[in-house]
Structure 1
Amino acid sequence: MGSDLLSIGRTGARAARAALDVTAQNITNAGSEGYVRRSVRLAEVASGSIAAVPADINLSGVAVAGVTRNADLFRQSEVRRTGADAARAGTEVDGLTNIETAVEQTGVYDGIVKFEASLQQLLSDPTDGSLRAAVTESGRTMAQTFNVAASSLDAVGTGLRFEANDGVTGVNRVAGELARVNLRLARAIDQSSDQTSLLDQRDTLLRQLSEQTDLTTTIAPDNTVTVAIGGMPGVTLVNGGTASPLAATTAADGTLAFTLGGAPVAPASGALAGKNQALAQLSRTRHDLDAVAADLVATVNAAQATGVDLAGNPGQPLFAGSDAAGMAMIATGGSAVATATSGTNSRDPANLKALRSALATNDPAGRTDTILFAISSAVAGRAVTRDALTSIADNARIALQAQAGVDLDQEAINLTRYQQAFQASGRVIQVASDIFDTLLGIR
C-alpha cells in the first residue's frame, strides 16, 4: 500500500471540505450580479518508492488542485459587444424622442398655419382693425413658439451633454478600478480563491465599461486585461496598472468630441456613441428650424418693404431675428401690416397677396412638417433597431448565464455528494483506527 489509511482519509476529508466550501459559496452568491460559478478541481496524489514500477498503482489520496471559474471568454465578449450596441441604440432613441417632443409639442407647425390663416382672413377686408390685430397677434404667437422650440432643443442638448459627461466620468472611474484589479491579478496565485474573485471583478468592470463605449480587450497570460476603445485597433484605455483619461469637449454644432490620453477617439457603440448621434440629429434639427425661422422673417419683411401700411406709410418690418431663438414680432399694432402697394388705395390687397404668394413659395409650414416627419421617422426606425439589438443582447446574457451561472439544483446535488464524501473519508479514518487498535490488541 502506498500510504496509510489515515493519510488517505485525511486528504479525502480535506478535499471534500474544500468542495463543500466552494459549493456553499456558489449557493450564497447565486443571485449576485457578475458572479461566475466555481468548482474545485481535484487530483490524485501518488506516492512512489524505489521498488515501484511504472505499471503499479500506488495512490496516497486526493488533493485540491485549484478552484476553477466556469467562465467562457467568447460568451462574455459577446455580452459586452451586444450590450454596447443595445445601449447605443437605446440612448439614441431616448434623445431623438426628446427632440421630437421639443419640436412637436411646442406647436411651431400650428403657429405657422394660424399666422397664414390670419393673412387669408385679412384678404376679406384689409382695413378691418380686428383682422389686422389678429395678424400681429398670431405672428407674435408664432414667434414665441419658435422661441420655445429653440429653448426646448437647447435643453435637450444640455441634458444629453450632461449625461455624456457623466458617462465619461464613469468610464474614467471604472478604468481606474480595472487598472487596480490588473495590479492585484498580476500578483495573485494561479487558480486561488483570491484570483477567481478578482476575475469576477475584472469581468464586471468590463461589462460596466461596455455600457458606455465599445471595447477591444486583450487578455494576458496572467489574466490582466488591456482595453482599447474606438474600434480596431482603437486607443488604449487600460494597460496593466495604468488608465488613460477620457475627456469630452463640445464642438460648435453642439456635438461632442472625445479624446483619450490626448488622442482623438470616436466611440463606435455604447451610451456615449448613442448620445452623440442624438446630438448630431439635434444639430440638424436646430439648423433646419433656424432656417425656417430666418426665411420666414426675411420673406415677410421683404413683402412689407414693397407695400404701405394702413396710414399709407412705407411698410416696416414685422419681425426681427435671424433664427428660431431670436425671432420676435416687433410691430406695435395691426395697422403696420402693409396690405396695399405704394400709391394705391389702402383697401387694395395686392401687397398682401404678394406676401401670401411668397409664403406659399417658401412654404414654412411644409418645411416644418418635413422636419417633424424626419424626426418621427428616425424615432420609429431607431426604435425597431433598438428592440432588435436589445433582444440580441438579452439572448447573449441568457446564454452566458446558462453557462457561467449557478444552477441551484446542481449545487444541491453537489452539496449532498461532497457531504457524503466527507463522511466516507471520516469513516476511512475510523476504520484505520479500528484496525490499528485490533492489531495492538493481539496477544
Structure 2
Amino acid sequence: MSLDAIWTSTAGLKATQAAINIVSQNVANAGTAGYVRRTIDTVSTAPGNTGIGVGTVTRSFDAAALKQLRSETAGAAYTSTRSNITAQLDKLYGTPGTSTALDGTFNTFTESLQELTASPTSAAARSTVLSNAATLATQINSAASTVQNLRTGIESQLGTDTAVASSLLQNIASLNSKIQNTTDDSSKADLQDQRDQAINNLSSYMDVSTVDQRDGTVTVLTGSGVTLVDRGNAATLSFDGHGTLDASSSYSTDASKRTVGTITVNTPGGAKIDLGAPGAIRSGSLAAQLELRDVTLPQAQRQLDDLAAGLATSLSNKTVTGTTGTNTVQMDISGIQAGNTLTIPVTFGDGSVRNVTLVASNSATTGVDPALTTDSSGYAQTFDISGGPTTYQASISAALTALSSNAAQKQFKNIPSLTASVSGTSVTFTGGTNTTVSGGSASITVPTGVSDFTTGYPNQTAVFTDGVNTLYTGSVDKGAQLTGFAQRLTVNPVLQSNSSFLTSSGPSDTTTSGARGQAIFTALTSTQQTFSSASGIGGFSAPYHASVAQFTQDIISAQGASASAAKSSDDTQQVALSTAQSRFSTEAGVNIDAEMSNLIALQTAYGANARVLTAARDMLNQLLQI
C-alpha cells in the first residue's frame, strides 16, 4: 500500500505542479493581446485509477465566438473606412444654408444677378456678378479636385494595406508549418495564439474564413472562396498602383482599359486572380477602399461634373421641342454643335417607354456610354455633322441603323425601329415596327464660341466655359467633355474683360438693360434641366429634372445623408464588434479571480499529495527500523 501511495502522491505532485505552471502562465499573460487561456487535462496512468499523469495543454475558447469576432472585425473596418471618407466628402460642400457652403455661394451669385437686373447701369454690380461667378466656379473646382485627391490617397493606401495583408498571409503559412512540426503542447498553443492573432488582423483588411485541418494547420479563404493559405503555402497579394488619379481614372475587368490599381492574388500554383473585381472582397478596409475609389467618389465627381455642365448649358443652350404628328416628330436642328443631343421618347409594343438619344459628333457614328447621356437605357448613338446639313440624312440614318444593331447585339428586350428624313436642317423621325414616336426635343448650344455674345440674345450666354477658350457643348469626340469638367469650369474670360455684354440691350444696341441678367437668373433658378441618373440624385434608374439651383441643394443633401448613414452604420457596427469581443473574451480571456481560486485549490492538492508522500516515507522508515 505504501508503494502505491508513494507512486500516487508523486504522480499527483507532478500533475499539480504542471497545472500550477499553467495557472501562472495564464496570470502572467492576462494583459497580452491575443493570448488565449490555457487548461491542462489529467489522465489515469495505472489500473484502478491509482496513478495520474499530465494530459494535453489546450486553449480554452469558443470557436463560434471567434468566427463572429472575425466577421465583425471585417465589418467594423469596412464601415469605419467608409464613414471617414464620406465625412470628409460631406465637409467639401459646407453646412447647408451657410454663406460659404456650395448652395450659399450659388445663392450669392444669383442674388447678385437680381441686383444687376435692378441696376443694369452699375459697373460695380457687373463686377460683383462676375466675381461671385468666379467664386462659385473656384469652389466647384476645389471640391472636384479634393474628390480626386481622396481617390489618390485611397490608391496609395490600397498599396500599403495590400502589402501588409500579403505579409500576414506569409506569417500564417509559416506558423502553420511550425505548428505542424511542434510536439510540445505549450509551444504549440503559443504558436496557435500567434496564428489566430494574425488571422484576426487579416480580417480587418478583408472578409476571411478558416477551415481546420487534421494536422493542426488551417486553410484561409476569402468570403468569395479564393484560397489564400493552404497549410504551409500562402498566396501573395500585389497592387499595381497608378499614382495620381483623375476624373477619367476607372476600374475595368479588361486590364488594357483599367486606369487604376487592382489587387492581384498570385497563388502558389501560378494562377492569378483579380480581387479588385466587384464582389471579390466583400468586407474589410480593402473592400471599402475599392468601393470608395471606384463607386462612391466617382459618383461625387459626376455630381459636380453634372452641376458644372448644368451651369454652362442652362445659360448657353436652347431646347427645341419637336412638333408631333401621327407616329412622327419633326424638329429644327440648325446650329447644332458636336455634343448636342436629339432625344426621341419611343413606346415599344409592351408599353415600355425609352429615350433614343442621338449625339452630334464630328466623327463616324459610334455607340455612346449611356452614363454620359440623360437617360440610362442604353439607346444612344452619335451621328456625324462634320459634312453639314446636306449630309444629315445619311448620317442620322446610319446612326439609327447602328443603334438598332447595337441593341440587338446586347440582347435588349426591345429593338427600336426608327427612320429619319431631313429637309435642310429639319429632321423628321418616324416610328416603325413595334416602335411608336411620342415626341422629341433637341438641346442646341447657341453661342458659336467663347467670344460670341450676340447670338441668342438675351437668353443664351456663355458665362461659364471649359477652360479659358473652349465652349462647353458636351462633346464626346475626344473623350467625354463632361468627365472632369468640374475641375475645368471657368468664367468666360471674354466676359470678364468686357462685362458690358451682361447688360447690353441687344446684339447691336450698347444701351444698358437688365434683360440678360434676368434671363440668366431665370435659367439658373427656375428653368428645369435634365440631369443623368448616373449622378445618383433623384434615383438610379431615371433622369432627374430640376433647376440648377435645386440640383445644387440636392447634391449637398445627398452627401449629407450619405455621411450620416455611413456614420450611423459605423456606430452600429462598432457596437457589434464590441459585443463580439466581449463574447470571445469571456471564454478565452484570463480571469484573475478565477485563476487565483484555481491556484488555491491546486496548492491544497499539492499539500495533500505532499502529506501522503511524507506519511509513506515515515512508514518506510519504521519498517526499516524493525
* TM-score between both structures, scaled by the size of structure 2: 0.64
How many angstroms apart in 1 are the aligned matches of 2:165 and 2:504? Answer: 61
Q: Summarize deviations over 1:18-49 as a string: whole Å, max 9, x none.
A: 111000011111121111111110112115xx
Shift of 1:247: 3.1
Where 1:31 maps in the other structure, the secondary structure is coil
1:291 aligned onto 2:306: yes
Residue equivalent to 2:356:
none
Residue equivalent to 2:232:
241
How many angstroms apart in 2 are the aligned matches of 1:157 and 1:145? Answer: 19
- What letter matches 1:263 in structure 2? I
Shift of 1:149: 1.0
Residue equivalent to 1:24:
24
Distance 1:315 1:269, change over 3 A: closer
How many angstroms apart in 1 are the aligned matches of 2:504 and 2:237? Answer: 60
Select which of 412, 418, 427 maps to 2:596: 412
Which residues of 2 match residues 262-277 of structure 1 at below 5 A? 262-265=272-275, 266-277=280-291
1:391 aligned onto 2:572: no
Residue equivalent to 1:196:
189
Shift of 1:141: 1.2
Residue equivalent to 1:85:
75
Contact 1:304–1:337 (Cα < 8 Å) also in 2: no
Contact 1:308–1:338 (Cα < 8 Å) also in 2: no
1:324 aligned onto 2:470: no
Shift of 1:289: 0.2
- What letter matches 1:328 in structure 2? T
Contact 1:103–1:153 (Cα < 8 Å) also in 2: no
Contact 2:39–2:57 (Cα < 8 Å) also in 1: yes
How many angstroms apart in 1 are the aligned matches of 2:307 and 2:462? Answer: 21
How many angstroms apart in 2 are the aligned matches of 1:235 and 1:174? Answer: 16
Shift of 1:92: 0.9
Distance 1:282 1:316, change over 3 A: closer
How many angstroms apart in 2 are the aligned matches of 1:40 and 1:213? Answer: 35
Residue equivalent to 2:505:
340
Contact 1:90–1:386 (Cα < 8 Å) also in 2: yes
Could you list the structure 1 runs, at least 4 aligned residues long, displaced by more than 4 angstroms after superposition.
301-309, 314-318
Residue equivalent to 1:70:
60
Q: Which has the higher helix share?
A: 1
Q: Percent identity?
A: 27
Which residues of 2 match residues 294-313 of structure 1 at below 5 A? 294-301=309-316, 307-308=453-454
Q: Give ranges in structure 2 of 5+ residues lacking alignment.
A: 252-259, 267-271, 318-445, 468-480, 530-546
Shift of 1:60: 4.1
Where 1:103 maps in the other structure, the secondary structure is coil
1:41 aligned onto 2:41: yes
Shift of 1:125: 2.5
Q: Which has the higher strand share?
A: 2
Residue equivalent to 1:258:
263
Between 216-225 and 20-29, report the one with greater CA deviation.
216-225
1:179 aligned onto 2:153: no
Residue equivalent to 2:566:
382
How many angstroms apart in 2 are the aligned matches of 1:170 and 1:376? Answer: 33
Shift of 1:227: 0.9
How many angstroms apart in 1 are the aligned matches of 2:227 and 2:116? Answer: 66
Distance 1:338 1:304, change over 3 A: farther
Residue equivalent to 2:521:
356
Residue equivalent to 1:159:
153
How many angstroms apart in 1 are the aligned matches of 2:69 and 2:462? Answer: 64
Q: Summarize deviations over 1:51-71 as a string: whole Å, max 9, x none.
A: xxxxxx3x4421101111112
* TM-score between both structures, scaled by the size of structure 1: 0.89
- What letter matches 1:138 in structure 2? N
Shift of 1:200: 0.8
Distance 1:198 1:117, change over 3 A: same
Contact 1:84–1:269 (Cα < 8 Å) also in 2: yes
Provide the aligned length of Structure 1 versus Structure 2.
426
CA RMSD of the aligned region, Å? Answer: 2.6
Select which of 221, 224, 229 maps to 2:217: 224
How many angstroms apart in 2 are the aligned matches of 1:125 and 1:438? Answer: 126
Shift of 1:304: 6.7
Between 433-442 and 326-335, report the one with greater CA deviation.
326-335
- What letter matches 1:334 in structure 2? S
Between 106-115 and 143-152, report the one with greater CA deviation.
106-115
Where 1:24 maps in the other structure, the secondary structure is helix
How many angstroms apart in 2 are the aligned matches of 1:202 and 1:353? Answer: 71
Which residues of 2 match residues 94-133 of structure 1 at below 5 A? 94-104=84-94, 107-133=101-127
Q: Give ranges in structure 1 of 5+ residues lacking alignment.
A: 48-56
Contact 1:121–1:131 (Cα < 8 Å) also in 2: yes
Residue equivalent to 2:292:
278
Residue equivalent to 2:380:
none
